Amino acid sequence: MNNVIDLDQQQEKINDIRATVRNVVENSNVTYAAVAREIGVSSGQLSQFINDGYRGDNNSLANKLTVWLDNRSRRTNEMPIAPDFIATRTVKQIWNALQYAQLAQCITVIYGNSGVGKTRALQQFAIERPNVWLITVSPSRSSLSECLYELA
């Protein structure tokens, strides 16, 4: 009698796994073929398992799917959030120049290759410090009068 109960519980667990996998596939952009590839079985095996027609080791396949579901849950729930800003060495050099300009009450010029983070470093400095004005000048506004217009 105890073996029958164990088999019923096992079958119920397998049915729950089937339902969960069906739900994931129906409510996301994941396909059964992708699931099969990720757990290392053929798509035919997975299809037969999902439709309760698999004649192989259902427990082994159910265990693989349980691990896949757990990993999927971890990926979606535990992925770290990328920081908005990272203070790199270049950023620290720019901030040092800006701090000097602020303490000495003078103007500083920041220049360098494109894409190294000059504008983003300046924007972050302006956010974090009081009494900072930031003007980003484009080639169309590179004359002195245009810069002063932006400053005003």
Q: How many domains does the chain have?
A: 2
- Same domain, yes or no, for 97 and 72? no
Q: What is the CATH number of the domain that holds 40?
A: 1.10.260.40
- Same domain, yes or no, for 11 and 43? yes
pTM over 0.75, yes/no: no
Neighbouring C-beta atoms of residue 69, cutoff 10 Å: 16
Predicted confidence (pLDDT) per residue in 74-123, tens digit: 887 776 788 888 999 999 999 999 999 999 998 888 888 999 999 899 99
- Same domain, yes or no, for 6 and 65? yes
- Same domain, yes or no, for 52 and 12? yes
What value does the mean pLDDT of the chain take?
86
Nearest-10 crossing angle of helices 58-78, 43-50: 100
- Same domain, yes or no, for 106 and 139? yes
DSSP 8-class letter at 47: H
List, in order, residues 6 or more apart from 102 with CB less than 8 Å away: 129, 131, 132
Q: What is the pLDDT of residue 3?
A: 55
Domain range for 36 = 2-78
Tell me if residue 45 falls in helix, strand or coil. helix
Residue 4: pLDDT band (50, 70, 90) is low
